Amino acid sequence: MRITVRLFARLRDLAGSGELVRDLSGPATVKTVWQELVAEMPALGDYERTMSVAVNADYSKMSAPVNDGDEVAFLPPVSGG
Amino acid sequence: MARVAVTADPLDLPALTAELTGSGVGDGAVTTFVGLVRDHNQGRRVLFLEYEAYEPLAVRALNRIVDEAADSWPGTRLGVHHRIGRLELGEASIIIVAASKHRADAFAACRYTIERVKQIVPIWKHEHFEGGDVWLEGATADPEDAAAREAAHRIACA
């Protein structure tokens, strides 16, 4: 299955892109997506403790399942206002 | 005009206020909050800010906050616009308007909204200062975190 990964703020800078397309084999969760990303780009790893995640523009959890066509977003701590 | 928005355009407080207050004479109070780009932060001389948002989720989170405030202060109506992109010193990054029958509810709903924005809305400040730049990172966003919501409520009613 094919998913889109969205990265924001410093995570985007570290990855060099805010939008990545990834192909996954078999059942996957948000955590699977994250682990594959960190394997590719270890510099992102530190954010696991502080980030939030979203699936299809709704807050979600690392344990949530991911389906073909989903947009999975990793969000550093927010600083709006 | 939409009551909730994330926009690259300059914010228009009179227009949002008119949107919230144009529908009758039952209100006794309108409070507003305007967040501005300040020229210093943590000892650094700030040159300008760039705001980035995950727009669909930011709008969703803002609507959630408006709903939470309506639950806490029934009859109070809210408008919130957040700006994104490059902002110069002195420009408004966020405007909030709360209209209510009574001033206590209007003040509280306005304060609650800015506190919750800082907790759960996926927007980030990229600070450009004299000598460098840095992404500011505040709260880990978790809309289900009851303690965070309670903290915002306490501040609003202090």
- Can you give the residue range of the structural domain that contains A27? 2-75
Q: How far apart are CA B8 and CA A66, in angstroms?
A: 32
Closest CA of chain B from A42, distance in Å? 19
Measured in residues, chain B has a length of: 158
Q: Is residue A81 a part of any domain in this protein? A: no
CB contact under 8 A, A77 and B121: no
Q: Is residue A59 a part of any domain in this protein? A: yes
ipTM above 0.90, yes or no: yes
Q: How far apart are CA B86 and CA B88, in angstroms?
A: 7
CB contact under 8 A, B141 and A79: no
Helix, strand, or coil (residue A29): strand
| Cβ atoms of residues B102 and B27 within 8 Å | no
Q: Quick one: which H or E segment has residue B52?
A: strand B44-53
Q: Name residues whose C-beta falls within 8 Å of residue B72's C-beta, 6 or more positions apart in sequence.
A: B108, B109, B112, B153, B156
For chain A, what is the domain count? Answer: 1
The half-sphere exposure of B128 on its side-chain side, counting CA atoms within 13 A, is 10
CATH number at residue A58: 3.10.20.30
pLDDT, tens digit only, all 158 positions of chain B: 999 999 999 999 999 999 999 777 889 999 999 999 999 999 999 999 999 999 999 999 999 999 999 999 999 999 999 999 999 999 999 999 999 999 999 999 999 999 999 999 999 999 999 999 999 999 999 999 999 999 999 999 98
Main-chain phi, psi angles of B156, to 5 degrees: -65, -30
Q: Which residue is closest to A14 within chain B, CA to CA?
A: B135
Q: pTM, whole model, 2 decimals?
A: 0.97
Q: Name residues whose C-beta falls within 8 Å of residue B24's C-beta, 6 or more positions apart in sequence.
A: none
Fold of domain B4-156: Aldehyde Oxidoreductase; domain 3 (3.90.1170)
Q: Is residue A80 a part of any domain in this protein? A: no
Q: What's the burial of A17, exposed, middle or buried (CB within 10 Å: 0-12/13-18/19+)?
A: exposed
